[in-house]
Amino acid sequence: MALVAYFDESGHSSNTRFVCIGGLITTNDDWQVFSKHWTATLNAVGVSGLHMREFAHSRGQFAGWDEQRRRDLLTRLMALVHGADMTTIGVVFPMPVWHSLSDIQKRELVDPYFPCLQEVFNGALVHAAITANDSITLVVADHPEFGAKAQSLWNTYRASHPFGHYVSDFQRRSPGQSAPLQAADWVAYEVLKSCEKNSKGKQNDRWPFAQFLRTDAMLKFLDADYIRRQVAGFDS
């Protein structure tokens, strides 16, 4: 079977405490069915797409929605995620760790976005290998600031990764009307919000995050020890 993984980011090194990349993996056939039902579900309530920047703050198409209407929509969309045999991947980079790095180390890593991207790539490739699928396509929401660099990172990473041969294609796409990338945006947002909540000592997970954990979830927090290993020798 051919797998497809979709990833999007949430947070930015300039203004959030965490930078996250999250996404979902399933078969190409399941994505086609999922996309059809996702779009129909959104159209049924009069919106053309789910973008968490709008939805979370009741802006744009979601202006004026009350909490019950919002919860009803998320419940219906989450049922589609659970019905599609999804694997959830999320990677988090805490900004306090970034600020502890030297200027040289920061220049080498470029931005927290890239270690996160490398780790979601790794998770997707390992998933393809352990599930013995024929191939996997990686699709990343095209980042206006980092898109070209992401392509370069992928080219290098694929050549050196032991499971790089599983990848049939790497694509950068505008989230636009892409149902899978909208779902990936939702994952990334929930991972970010969960980290923010936990950093304030609040232990109860948000409902959507808890529901994503019910899938075959792979989450990774890039702590200080991990980052130190990645930047070892950069200052020499």
Q: Is the pLDDT of residue 189 over 60?
A: yes
* Alpha-carbon distances, residue 9 vs 12, 76, 189 (angstroms): 8, 23, 8
Task: Please state the domain extents for the chain.
Answer: 2-231
pLDDT the model gives residue 153: 84
Phi, psi angles (nearest 5°) of residue 234: -65, -30
When mean pLDDT is compared across 55-59, 70-74, 232-236, the lowest value belongs to: 232-236
Superfamily name with CATH number, domain 2-231: Ribonuclease H-like superfamily/Ribonuclease H (3.30.420.10)
pLDDT digits (tens, 9 = 90+) for 162-176: 998 898 899 999 877
Order the strands of the 135-141 sheet from edge to edge: 167-173, 135-141, 2-10, 18-27, 87-94, 216-221
What average pLDDT does range 1-28 have in this prediction? 94
CB 91 within 8 A of CB 77: no
pLDDT the model gives residue 220: 95
Q: Is the pLDDT of residue 235 over 70?
A: no
CB 80 within 8 A of CB 41: yes
- Looking at the whole model, is its pTM more than 0.85? yes
Q: How confident is the model at residue 187 (pLDDT cuts 50, 70, 90)?
A: very high
Regarding predicted confidence, which is higher, 106 or 235?
A: 106
Smallest CA-to-CA distance from 192 within 55, 73, 13, 18 is with 18
What average pLDDT does range 215-234 have in this prediction? 86
Q: Is the pLDDT of residue 232 over 80?
A: no
pLDDT the model gives residue 234: 63
pLDDT the model gives residue 179: 96
When mean pLDDT is compared across 74-78, 139-143, 202-206, 219-223, the lowest value belongs to: 202-206
Q: Is the pLDDT of residue 155 over 60?
A: yes
